[in-house]
Structure 1
Amino acid sequence: MGKRTEIKFLEIINEFFMNQDEQFIGYLKYTGKSVEDGLLDIRKSAEALLGFDEILRYFLLKEDPSLTKIDFEIPIRIRKGSWDALIPDIIEKILSPEGILYLYAANTIRKAANDGFFETGIVKDVKKTFQNALIAIQWSIKLATHIGSFVKSKFDNVRIFKENNETYLEILNQNNEKLKVPKKYADLYANCPENLFSKNAKIIEKDRILEFGIFEDGQEKKVTVSEKEKYIFYTQDDGEEIVLPELKHGQYVELEGEITRATENTNTIGFRYKEHTLFCKPEKGSIAKFKNKIISSEIGHLFPKVKILGQVDRADKNGEFKEKKPQIIFTEIKPLKNVENDPSLFNLKN
């Protein structure tokens, strides 16, 4: 690693941290009386930063899968006044080849270079990639808040239409309020891990509101989550409690519930049963062959209610029967209403 490269990177970092008028792509923020001094205790700060990193990294990889080729770090800045974690506008400089060369081991960089990462990956348009990830985060929050759940991925009373060559969903909630959502963000929401926002939602209190913002075209756009909506995003740790203890390892079951997601690259589906979302895998083959049974053609529904038939699996990775939460190895899925295959409604490859 040459001296000139190190100097170049230090110049970039100094430009960011010494400039008091720096601009930002977006942020995570906590506001309210409990953070007026811009402070959280050490544990809450660590949890907030870890949660933000997990959320942002998840959507960054969805936006640009080539990021899996390198172990990058997300630079942010903490600012007083409220508790802010900010993504700098010069992110493309910090994550440029010069910056990455300074931050990472030489063998990692050689691999990234051999894979063509610098030519085709995040460095090509890193700012846009971060912006798109933040937009996806905001849409996921808006959708979950509108529906009233982060794990209920079936949309009731939905109208699907095209506008300016883009597919949209118009979703009606229980209060008869409509939300117009680009289908690509509805797809992302439906496939999100149900605990993705849990670390950040856990810190929300009466006097502490969570906010995600983005600066785009000179305007600030933000979404908030208050204590009133906390339950939508916060998933309590089950601790040592056994989930659904009546489902014994090896037991044959026929369970009625709702499909919440379908992820072809992991060959799994999410199945909502008695307020728990269970991972389910086919006993043989790919979930693609069940596609016509897990995607609804009924107006107002993307996923149908189904009966899933299979065997309870509580084996851990070592083959011991210790898993607190069961999986279902299914052989058959029976829709409880007539459905037919319509690939335009949902993309299993997300």
Structure 2
Amino acid sequence: MEEEKYLGYIKYDGPLVENGLMDGRKQAQALMGFDSAVRYFIGKLAPDLQSLDFEIPVRIRKGSWEALIPETVAGWAQAGLGVVATAYLAKAAQKMAEKDFSDFGFKDIFRASIDGLIWFARIGKHMGNVSIRNFSDVRFDGSSGLIGIVNAQGEILYVPKHVLDIYSQCPANILESVANNIADGRDLVIGSVEDGMLDEVTIDSSEKHIFCQEEEEKDEILFPELEHGADVVLEGEITRENKTSNSMGFKYNDHILTSYPEIGSIVQYKNLIFSECRLYGRVSRLDEKGRLNAKRPKLIFRHLEELRGEENYDLFNR
């Protein structure tokens, strides 16, 4: 039986996962975070697919804890999208043919998306801060077309220009859900596979803080102007989803507020993860016991409207 081939993966490596076991909630968080991050890059690389829903198959493999995207993902995606996928690939084939590419398909989009995650981690590690988006001291390699970015230690990392274009738009917390599971004895590894060659980046416990934005709880009331029951229209970023609680994270003025749809499931909004949105809803100050004294407001929204302020990077326009 032929061994199944993979496009890429995330895995946790180290003594804490040498038997392949990890807490169920941590596994769910890792898988949802991986799924959301890959979809974000797919939307940037192939804008026509941004608002479409399709399945991303993932296989869990024991040893270390690994989540692998198989090469058969192309068939899954095309089957889920049907005629849309056929039309999209026809457009893709025409554009890539003009640039002397061949055999282009969905798996190339998925691999490029995983490569985007690898570069995000690599740049973040190099700079020590994923919030840095302006690189004033850069070097150019004319022979390769790469751009060298310099960190505080004077070290240079050469990066493809299109990678920097995407990185400059990428949410700072895009790896937070998977990086949160990093601990002493459990490193995060993101990798891609092409023609049998591996490209990996590892994030260990000393680098976890670069990708996780920890928010301290304070005693004072947060946003006192957001009074219980008030109708609001707020602009912010959708940062995460939690299917168990049917909630989403909404980043408003540098704070993450838990938000719930007034009607229905958050699944209908999954394409908005990591997007800038306008939220229409009302404020709730009820705490876990139903008392009207929550210091951090919750939002009950009836509608989310995506703000189209930034442009996508189309894979075919490279």
Q: TM-score range by the shorter chain?
A: 0.5 to 0.7
Q: Aligned pair 1:34/2:16, yes or no?
A: yes
Counterpart of 2:47?
A: 65
Counterpart of 1:52?
A: 34
What are the Cα deviations for residues 91-140 of structure 1, in whole angstroms up to 9, with x where unaligned? 2233333xx2xxxxxxx757x37x93464479960111111111111111
Pairwise CA distance, 1:242: 7.3
Pairwise CA distance, 1:43: 0.5
Counterpart of 2:71?
A: 89
Counterpart of 1:9?
A: none
Residue correspondences, number: 236
Counterpart of 1:221?
A: 199
Q: Aligned pair 1:185/2:163, yes or no?
A: yes
What are the Cα deviations for residues 120-174 of structure 1, in whole angstroms up to 9, with x where unaligned? 479960111111111111111111110001112122422245445x4x3211111
RMSD between superposed Cα atoms in Å:
3.5
Counterpart of 1:13?
A: none
Where does structure 1 lack aligned partners over 5 or more consecutive residues?
1-18, 101-107, 250-272, 279-314, 325-347
Give me the whole-angstrom Cα distance separating, in 2, the residues matched to 1:277 and 1:124. Answer: 41
What are the Cα deviations for residues 198-217 of structure 1, in whole angstroms up to 9, with x where unaligned? 11111000100000111112
Counterpart of 1:150?
A: 130
Q: Contact 1:140–1:186 (CA<8 Å) still a contact in 2?
A: no
Counterpart of 1:349?
A: 311
Distance 1:41 1:86, change over 3 A: same
Q: Contact 2:41–2:113 (CA<8 Å) still a contact in 1?
A: yes
Task: Pick one of 317, 330, 340 that aligns with 2:280.
Answer: 317
Q: Aligned pair 1:136/2:116, yes or no?
A: yes
SS of the residue corresponding to residue 10 of structure 2 reads strand
Q: Contact 1:27–1:212 (CA<8 Å) still a contact in 2?
A: yes
Give me the whole-angstrom Cα distance separating, in 2, the residues matched to 1:57 and 1:27. Answer: 14
Identity of aligned residues (%): 33
Q: Contact 1:151–1:277 (CA<8 Å) still a contact in 2?
A: no
TM-score, normalised via structure 2 length: 0.64
Give me the whole-angstrom Cα distance separating, in 1, the residues matched to 2:40 and 2:78. Answer: 21
SS of the residue corresponding to residue 126 of structure 2 reads helix
TM-score, normalised via structure 1 length: 0.59
Equivalent residues in 2 for 1:159-308, closer than 5 Å = 159-160=139-140, 162-164=142-144, 166=145, 168-237=146-215
SS of the residue corresponding to residue 95 of structure 1 reads helix
Give me the whole-angstrom Cα distance separating, in 2, the residues matched to 1:236 and 1:242. Answer: 18
Give me the whole-angstrom Cα distance separating, in 2, the residues matched to 1:277 and 1:148. Answer: 22
Give me the whole-angstrom Cα distance separating, in 1, the residues matched to 2:201 and 2:25. Answer: 24
SS of the residue corresponding to residue 311 of structure 2 reads coil
Where does structure 2 lack aligned partners over 5 or more consecutive residues?
94-102, 227-252, 257-277, 286-295, 298-309, 313-318
